[in-house]
Structure 1
């Protein structure tokens, strides 16, 4: 494995989740390279991260790269954080496997898509350093779910788990190939039911949040958490579940897209 103390962590995709993951590492004095196909998004993420750091304790080790190859050139780990689009993620991981050094760990932060699906077409030797590493969003705890692509070297998982523990995260290794891993399979059922409550006109987001925050002693309500993740991402994830589990109802997703995403 590459030296995690001197090399960079490359974040590919600087939207809501990508910048949160980058901030976490920056707050622990790790070097971070940001890349997004939209350079304005990368710059906006950089400015947001800078605004969140305590500069007296957390020197800014974050930079942006204009080219993907430059972002990953000196990285010990790459974290893919682009939209939940299977084809786009497959293509990106294939590109990364050819650009990155052979000892660079390549992870996908997908919250639902199994890395076993994404590594199809990638050389077997390269698959040994690819895995899911799903960082829980702000407000949901210190957990990071790790899941093998089916061919991941166990030593890579062990090494990354150790690195995460050293910076205050709690790695949880998923014991089987699972769409949505562990927590998000449970969370998906909650989100789906809330979407149906809204689609049926049975309740309002503010009331749902108020009741569940009280009942679950939670800081955030489920609708607030969906906002933190991004409603487009919420819909993209639900679509992945619906394609795999065709017995689930889809009317609530259609309502949610029209009422909350497309309407802004």
Structure 2
């Protein structure tokens, strides 16, 4: 792996577990900022960081540094060992690992899809409940995010994925893990959601934005044509909308 200007690139471990790593990709020249790519898959071990690689490549092509973050997840097989709080510990540690990589961290955007959108929104507020926050998130782009754990649990999203993550039915006591219970985030949040999403309903994003604004936060609902996955297709108009949001940040 090359080390331009003293900065590491490629797969970098932030812990000893096989799932505690990120993939750092750098553009030519100085990056516009750093985008932390957090993949989805309902926090399940069956899904991994390969989902984020096309987005990371597209971001690097537009001048961003991309940190494609892996974390411990729920279920059997490779990537297991997650759930609350381990998954959250990993996301916090993975973002903070950026502090030692020689990057300009003035702009750090958390970009996450589905369960990754949940973790991206959570990451912006992680310092409130004792998680370390050496590297603050300065903006969030949630792509079809699971932003209301109680509603998602009640609706049975992901075949009980919320209960598997938490280890029990979601309640008000799970506020440390639940983005909608943590509004306002304190940073701008864009919730990009496909109108025809039948995996994570658009109401998840709409409810979050409404709650965030009611709490005095800066949040915007961006509705796009398409399903749950259109927002992670770099060739889609939905991705063009996301790129447009990022262009306002760096």
TM-score over 0.5 for the alignment?
no
Which of the pair has more CA radius of gyration?
A: 1
Q: TM-score, normalised by structure 2?
A: 0.32
Q: TM-score, normalised by structure 1?
A: 0.31
